[in-house]
Amino acid sequence: MSKRDYYEVLGLQKSASEQEIKKAYRRMAMKFHPDRNPDDKESEEKFKEVKEAYEVLSDSSKRGTYDQHGHEGLDRSGGGAGFNAEGFSDIFGDVFGDIFGGGGGRGGGGGGRARSNRGSDLRYTLELGLEEAVRGTEVQIKVPTLVSCSPCGGSGAKKGSTPISCSMCGGVGQVRMQQGFFSVQQTCPRCHGKGKTIKDPCASCFGKGRIEETKTLSVKIPAGVDTGDRVRLGGEGEAGADGGPAGDLYVQVSVRNHEIFERDGKHLYCEVPISFADASIGGELEVPTLDGRVLLKIPHETQTGKVFRLRGKGVAPVRGGSTGDLLCKVVVETPVNLSKQQKTLLHEFQTSIDAGGNRQSPRKNSWFDNVKSFF
C-alpha cells in the first residue's frame, strides 16, 4: 500500500518552516490522539501517520532525503520513520510537554527545575472623603499578608539545614508516567513540582517558608483621584513561595458620597435652595466651594432648575489637564408654616399676578394652552 505524501498528511506546503511543521503536528496529533478517540481504529491509524510524517519532516537530514527521492529514498537509506515506543515518547514530550506542565526536550529529559514563584498581588480598598480625594493625602493602612519567614529565610527548612533534592523526580519537579507506548509528563506528587523536599521543617513556618503578618504601610494619595483609581505599591503583596519575589499591593480608591457636592469627573455639582423672593427680584447668595464660600449673584426672574457655572472651582484631574467647574443648580423653595397674614398676602399677590396674564406667568399660561389644544 503506497504511503501518502508527508506534507499532505500535515496539510503543509513543501516550503513550510520548522515552526509550521511543529504547529501542524500539534494540531493534527491532538485531533487524532487515541485518548480523545477511544476505540477508534481509524483515528489511531491517522495518528500513527501524522507521527510518522512529523518524525521525517522535523529532521533536517531525513527531510532533505525525502524532498529529493520521496519514500523510496528513505527506505534505501534506512532513515524511514518506524513507529516505536521510544521514539514516540521523545516527540510526545517535545510537542505536548507544555500542555502537561513539562518542558522536556528530545530524549525524555523531563521538565526543568521548578522556578521560584512570584507572590500573589493584593488589593486594598481605601475609602476617602471628597476633600481628601481632591486635595490628596497620606494615610496609614494595615494589610494582612504573607511575608517571608525570617528564621529560615523563606526556604521552609530548619535553621542550619537546607531542602534536599526530591527522591521521586530527582529534583526536576516532573515525573513521566508510562502506559504502553504512551508517556505523559506531570507534576511530581511528592514535591508538588518544587524539585525539593524538606527533611527538617522550620518551627516558625512549619516548612511553608511564609507566615501571616499584618503590615502597616504609608500610602501617598495624589490629588484628584476618583473612585476606581488605584495606587500600586510594588513588592508589598504576598511574599513568593520558595523565596520567590513578592507580588504588588494595589490600593483601590473609593470616594464616599458628600453631603453637598456630587462629582462627575473633574466637575462638581450642587443644589442651591433660594427663596421665592430672591428668585423673583434677584439678590446675592453665599455658596460653598471646596476652597471656601463665594458670592453667587442671582438675577431677577430666575426660574428653578437654572444652572450657574463657577469656573475653576471643580477638581484638578490626577492625570493632568484643566481644573473643572462647580455647577450650581438653583431650586426655588416653597415657603412652609405660613401664618394667616402671610397666606392673605399671598392670595392678594396671586390675584395681581393672574390679572397680568401671559406677561407675568408665560410658562404657566403656555402650558395650559397646550393642554387645551391637546384635548
Predicted confidence band of residue 356 (pLDDT cuts 50, 70, 90): low
Q: Are both 307 and 349 inside the same structural domain?
A: yes
pLDDT at 214: 93
CATH number for the domain harbouring residue 39: 1.10.287.110
Residue reference for cell 495624589? 222
Residue 143 sits in the same domain as residue 274:
no
Task: Please check whether residue 220 lies inside any domain of the structure.
Answer: yes
Write the DSSP assignment of 348-374 as a string of letters: HHHHHHHHHGGGT-HHHHHHHHHHHHH
Looking only at the bridges linking them, the beta strands covering 283-289 and 267-275 are unpaired
Q: Point out the domain boundary residue: 188, 223, 256.
A: 256
| Bridge partner list, 213 | 145
Cα 90 to Cα 232: distance, rounded to the nearest angstrom? 45
Shared domain check, 121 and 238: yes
Give the residue with greater pLDDT, 273 vs 1.
Answer: 273
| Phi–psi pair at 136, nearest 5 degrees | 85, 155
Is the residue at 180 inside a domain? no
Beta strand 249-255 with 122-128 is parallel
Together in a domain, 237 and 213: yes
Single out the residue in 37, 62, 83 at which a domain terminates.
Answer: 83
Sorting pLDDT into bands at 50, 70 and 90, what band is 88? Answer: very low
pTM of the model: 0.58
- For 130-182, the pLDDT digits (tens) are 999 999 999 999 999 999 888 888 888 888 888 888 888 888 888 877 665 66
Please check whether residues 246 and 346 belong to one and the same domain: no
Q: How far is CA 33 from the centre of its chain?
A: 35
Q: Please check the confidence at residue 233 and state whether its pLDDT lies above 90.
A: yes
Whichever domain contains 368, its CATH number is 2.60.260.20
Structure confidence by residue, pLDDT tens digits, 55-75: 888 888 888 888 877 877 777
84 — pLDDT class (breaks 50, 70, 90): very low
**96 part of a folded domain:** no
Question: pLDDT tens digits, residue range 185-202?
Answer: 888 888 888 888 888 888
CA angle at 174 for the pair 110 and 85, rounded to the nearest 5°: 45
Residues spanned by the domain of 277: 262-374
User: Mean pLDDT across the stretch 232-258?
Assistant: 91
Residue 267 in this model has a pLDDT that exceeds 60: yes
Determine the pLDDT at residue 106.
38
- Tell whether 345 is covered by a domain: yes
Q: Could you tell me the pLDDT band of residue 95, with boundaries at 50, 70 and 90?
A: very low
Number of separate domains in the chain: 3
